Amino acid sequence: TTYVYSFGNGAADGDATQAELLGGKGANLAEMAQLGLPVPAGFTLSTDCCNDFLSSGGNYPGKLREQVQAALATVEGIMGMKFGDTENPLLVSCRSGARQSMPGMMETVLNVGLCPATIPGLIKKTGNERFVYDAYRRLIMMYADVVMEKAEGVEPIDDMGIRSQLDRIMEDLKEEKNYINDTDIPAEDLKNLCDTFKKTVREVLGVDFPDKPEDQLWGAIGAVFKSWNGRRAISYRRIEGIPDQWGTACTVQSMVFGNMGATSATGVAFTRNPANGENRFYGEWLPDAQGEDVVAGTRTPNPLNKDTKNDQNEHLPSLEEEMPEVYAQLYEIRNNLEKHYRDMLDIEFTIQEKRLYMLQCRVGKRTGPAALNMAMDMLEEKMITEKECVMRVKPSQLDELLHPIVDPAHEKTSTVIAKGLPAGPGGAFGQIVFTAKDAVEWHKSGKQVILVREETNPEDVEGMRAAEGILTARGGMTSHAALVARGWGKCCIVGAAMIKLDFKAKEMRIGGKVYKEGDVVTLNGSKGLVYEGALKMVDATENPRFKAFMTIVDKYRTMGVRTNADSPQDTLVSLEYGAEGIGLFRTEHMFYGGDSEEPLFLLRKMILSDTEDERRQALEELFPFMKRDIQATLETMDGMPVTIRLLDPPLHEFVPHGRIHQEELAKALDIEVDDVVRRGEELQESNPMMGHRGVRLGITYPEITEMQVRAILEAAAELIRQGKNPLPEIMVPVTCDVKELIFAKAITDRVYADILKTFSLDSIDYKYGTMIEIPRAALMADKMAECADFFSFGTNDLTQMTFGFSRDDTGGFMADYLDKGIIDADPFQTIDQDGVGQLIQYSVERGRKTRPDLKIGICGEQGGDPASVAFCYANNLTYVSCSPFRLPIARLSAAQAAL
């Protein structure tokens, strides 16, 4: 087996496509070498080598030593130096590098090969004693820490390891002698320091520092491999979902020295600005420094050029000013690399006595706005194609573009006072209030408020609307507050359990601290973080770039996108965000604090009716409101399908609870208050989400279905008369058997015939279908399709019933399930493809067997989640539907799934 891959002198055994084998670093070094860039020669030990090494309990595979010897000899030839030689010694670095970048999570050792035998030769050759001892003290510090102490891949939990002891010794020396920077320490002191370091190593670790170059090399290679199983690396892999079996490569590379004095330097750069995407070369450098000094933050780095100057570094000279020829060369490399990789890169370089060397390049991380701007710029520069442009922005990055966010710089310097679930995106600050009523009143008087509640219920809707942000102590990602907030694109944090509320006193307690009504807090709804006081916001203003990008996205999207919207306002917003129809219009929306109390009153009247006649009369009165509401939305969405769901929630939700409200209602209806109370008790259910709701209401009270269907079809008929093109889709919720559908269809047919006659119409272009949200309905999909033109997966309820997780009560255990790895992701946020996904797949197949042209969509919250959208695409769904503000994310995810 080949374990070793060489690079250098304009050639290489591998290239950038081989990250799997060579790690990202090794693969890109090979690529840069092939491009003829000044890359110090070296070789990479493959990830296979690492895996064999680790699985054999730390033994190097046979033949490895020979391969390394041969590769090292090649490097020696190129460099004209010899590893371990007393006259002309070659030094190397041993660098970790996984398939996917894991910044700072694994180890790298520099200056390997420096020892009492090679030191004099190097001093003689460079004439720079100070530099040589600086390199040696760095080697001892790194090697003692990485190779000797962490030899078993176990990192100490606190900082009192050998590294910090050596750090302390050096700091003490600087203090004693009044040296401000590391670079001020003269050769003599560095030499003594190295002796002290070696003594300390022996005392603390009980072994001698290895002074044989061979031993150092193999020790360092082993440590790099073992760092794959270091504590940090393992936890990073868990977070990022990187498989344990990838392993890391180890690149052994000739050292070049940025610490040889004022004409040497080291630096890092981005080919474009990673924060905003501007097409400007962006970076930092440090003269007389090595490797990690720039990122370590021990010295303020210098700006690369005039574009990189800021308040902190403007007094420091730029590389452009200090070494114009080197900068010009670097700038040209930057241009060539971008042209070659056709993306923004993150690069590392070192200058040894005015000679430039490239040490690393990789595709750079970037913010959402930067991703968008770069993609569009590169498209305009003809660097990338439209398809590539679409793939360059992650759906999750769009979130950052659509909501004002808390200024990340300000967040860094502020303390988090509470944490919850990130339920509604963006940022918001305001004065805290504890009731919806106060929220509305304070808002009216021009104040900016944050509504703080234990949890929210439909009666809080107005207050939620009025608030800048919502914060609740309980509830999960699909709790009422979260759903509503996301629907409006409003900042919201739910389930912040450490908040203790006292409504009487109008205050909340977090830890020991009390916050009173009127105190100001800031919410970061994208991360679920709460801060004290008002933090700065960064505005995400309407961006023409964004619109142009989305137009391109839609060219490559094949699956439809619709929105969940209940009001003409939401509908208008959704059109702006690219909705092609409504996938879920909830008819009960009008009872939750719209512009009039009347519909709710009439519904309550219907609920409190004793006989069918009374009920019909109440429904008769409710009818015009229902029709008007539906008509307004059909009209706004003219020519596009609107899926209208028949009444879904259990009726008890609408019966008032408190005594005062009950008395009020009794008076208004001219009945006994006891009747209101009694009816409330009758309707009480111990498990209302699985109780008397959805189609079951229409089975018991067919007149409710009749009224709603009439409202829908009459609204449509009137619009047709006005020359419009309404496309209503009647959707029956909570079904589990085709007979339910047949029952409601009979009512629909009757009403339909009636309306055609009344309006003298030949037809109304409507569809009749059902939600698939009960596992039994999914299993019976072939039957269900006999009486349905369409299915819509209600993945909230389907998930709830498939898991047996009550969606309003997951707050108590979801965090534990995630922490302990029982489940990988909250199934209410992203479709559980393994379980719930099987039901979806099965129903799509069975449903289309019965009816090949069956339209199938999804209208759960997951419709705006990128992974779920991709799943829907893969399963041939006709469309996904999500809240208006998530539409761009759904459109982009759908386009990327199709590419």
Could you list the active site residues?
480, 859
Give the distance, in angstroms, between the CA of residue 93 and the centroid of all CA atoms in the same chain. Answer: 35
Shortest Å, Cβ 197 to ligand ADP: 20
CB neighbourhood size of 132 (10 A) = 29
Strand stretches in 434-548, DSSP E: 449-453, 469-472, 491-494, 499-502, 507-510, 513-516, 520-524, 529-532, 537-538
CB of 106 to ligand ADP, least distance (A): 7
Alpha-carbon distance of 156 to 152, in angstroms, equals 11
**Residue 658 CB partners (closer than 8 Å, separation 6+):** none
> Binders of ligand ADP: how many residues, by CB under 6 A?
16
650 versus 794: smaller Cβ distance to Mg ion: 794
Is residue 269 within 8 Å of 286, Cβ to Cβ? no
For residues 590 and 597, give the distance between their C-alpha atoms in angstroms, rounded to a whole number: 9
Our CB check for ligand ADP shows the closer of 104 and 116 to be 104
With binding defined as CB under 5 A, does residue 107 bind Mg ion? Answer: no
The verdict on 359 binding ligand ADP (CB under 6 A) reads yes
Shortest Å, Cβ 854 to ligand ADP: 52
Q: Which residue, chain included where needed, has tokens 């905003």? A: 276
Which CB atom, from 399 or from 588, has the smaller least distance to Mg ion? 588
**Minimum distance, C-beta of residue 121 to ligand ADP, in the bound complex (Å):** 19
Nearest CB to Mg ion, comparing residues 566 and 797: 797
Residues 253-282 vs ligand ADP: string with x where CB under 6 A?
A: xxxx--------------------------
- Among Mg ion, ligand ADP, none, residue 292 binds (CB under 5-8 Å by kind): ligand ADP
Instruction: With H, G, I as helix, E, B as strand and everything else as coil, classify residue 428.
Output: strand
Piece of 43-51, 166-174, 246-254, 792-800 that binds Mg ion (CB under 5 A): 792-800
389 close to 469: Cβ distance less than 8 angstroms: no
Query: Which one, of 831, 883, 795, 871, lies nearest residue 402 by Cα?
Result: 883
Helix (H, G, I), strand (E, B), or coil: what is residue 527?
A: coil
With binding defined as CB under 6 A, does residue 40 bind ligand ADP? yes
Q: How far is the CB of 328 from Mg ion (least distance, A)?
A: 24
Close Cβ partners of 117 (under 8 Å, ≥ 6 residues apart): 84, 86, 211, 213
For residue 256, the minimal CB distance to ligand ADP (Å) is 5
> Binding to ligand ADP by residue 44, rule CB under 6 A?
no
Q: Which is nearer to ligand ADP, 348 or 468 (CB)?
A: 348
Neighbours of 744 (CB within 10 A): 25
User: 42 vs 430, which CB is nearer to ligand ADP?
Assistant: 42
Q: Which residue is nearest to ligand ADP (CB)?
A: 291
Q: Which of 291, 422, 769, 884 binds ligand ADP (CB under 6 A)?
A: 291
**Interface residue with ligand ADP, options 292, 554, 621, 663 (CB under 6 A):** 292
Distance CA 249, CA 527 (A): 34
- What tokens does 789 get? 């033109």
> Which of these, 529, 324, 510, 512, lies nearest to 415 by C-alpha position?
529
As measured in angstroms, the least distance from the Cβ of 195 to ligand ADP is 25
CB contact set of 21 (below 8 Å; sequence gap of 6+)? 5, 14, 27, 46, 47, 48, 249
Q: Confirm if 266 and 323 have CB atoms less than 8 A apart.
A: no
Q: Please identify, using beta-carbon distances, which residue of 113 and 728 lies nearer to ligand ADP.
A: 113
Binding residue for Mg ion (CB under 5 A) from 400, 797, 826, 865? 797
Residues 765-784 that bind Mg ion (CB under 5 A): 773
* Inter-CA distances, 480 with 243, 458, 495, Å: 36, 8, 12
d(CA 270, CA 371): 13
Binding region for ligand ADP (CB under 6 A) out of 104-112, 150-158, 211-219, 236-244 = 104-112
- Number of other residues whose CB lies within 10 A of the CB of residue 762: 5
Give the span between the Cα atoms of 760 and 720, in whole angstroms: 11
Residue ranges in 198-257 that form contacts with ligand ADP under rule CB under 6 A: 253-256
As measured in angstroms, the least distance from the Cβ of 218 to ligand ADP is: 18
Q: Is 51 annotated as a binding residue?
A: no
Distance CA 718, CA 631 (A): 9
Residue from 10, 104, 116, 511 in contact with ligand ADP (CB under 6 A)? 104
Q: Residue 524 in contact with residue 531, Cβ under 8 Å?
A: yes
Q: Is 796 annotated as a binding residue?
A: yes
Query: Residue 234 is encoded by which pair of tokens?
Result: 């393992």
93 binds, among ligand ADP, Mg ion, none (CB under 5 to 8 A by kind): ligand ADP
How far, in whole angstroms, is CA 277 from its chain's centroid?
19
Least Cβ distance, residue 532 to ligand ADP (angstroms): 35
Contact status: 350 vs ligand ADP (CB under 6 A): yes
- Is 189 known to sit in a ligand binding site? no
Which residue carries 């087996």 as its tokens?
A: 1
811 binds ligand ADP (CB under 6 A): no
DSSP character string of 402-413 = HS-EE-HHHHHT
∠ Cα 25 267 236 (to 5°): 45
In the complex with Mg ion, the residue whose CB is nearer, 715 or 730, is: 730
- Is 586 part of any known ligand binding site? yes
Nearer to ligand ADP, 40 or 827 (CB): 40
CB 280 within 8 A of CB 307: yes
Residue 794 touches Mg ion, criterion: CB under 5 A: yes
Q: Which of 165, 259, 318, 360 binds ligand ADP (CB under 6 A)?
A: 360
CA dihedral sign, ordered 780, 785, 788, 790:
positive
Q: Report the relative pairing of strands 879-882 and 790-793 from DSSP bridges.
A: unpaired
| Nearer CB in complex with ligand ADP: 93/800 | 93
* Binding of residue 348 to ligand ADP (CB under 6 A): yes
- To Mg ion, the closest distance from the beta carbon of 360 in angstroms equals 5
Site membership for ligand ADP, residue 365 (CB under 6 A): no
Which one of ligand ADP, Mg ion, none is in contact with 797 (Cβ closer than 5 to 8 A by kind)? Answer: Mg ion
* 881 is a site residue for ligand ADP (CB under 6 A): no
Tell me which of ligand ADP, Mg ion, none is bound by residue 253, counting a contact when its beta carbon lies within the kind-specific cut-off of 5 to 8 angstroms: ligand ADP
Q: From CA 363, how far away is CA 485, in angstroms rounded?
A: 35
346 binds Mg ion (CB under 5 A): no
One-character DSSP codes across 445-464: TT--EEEEESS--GGGHHHH
Q: Is 663 annotated as a binding residue?
A: no
Q: Which is nearer to ligand ADP, 118 or 254 (CB)?
A: 254
Question: Which of the choices ligand ADP, Mg ion, none does residue 794 contact, using the CB cut-off of 5 to 8 A by kind?
Answer: Mg ion
CA 110 vs. chain centroid, Å, equals 35
The footprint of Mg ion on this chain (CB under 5 A) covers a number of residues equal to 4
Question: How does strand 265-270 pair with strand 345-352?
Answer: antiparallel
Cα(747)–Cα(394) distance, integer angstroms? 47
Site for Mg ion in 173-232 (CB under 5 A): none
Residues 61, 529: Cα–Cα separation, whole Å: 49
Binding track over 63-102 against ligand ADP, x by CB under 6 A = ------------------------------x-x-------
Rounded least distance, CB 360 to ligand ADP, Å = 5
Asked if 114 and 122 touch (Cβ cutoff 8 Å), the reply is yes
The contact set with ligand ADP (CB under 6 A) reads 40, 93, 95, 104, 108, 110, 253-256, 291-292, 348, 350, 359-360
Q: List residues forming the annotated binding site for Mg(2+).
A: 773, 797
Q: Which residues bind Mg ion (CB under 5 A)?
A: 360, 773, 794, 797
Binding residues for substrate: 586, 645, 773, 794-797
Binding-site residue ranges: 586, 645, 773, 794-797
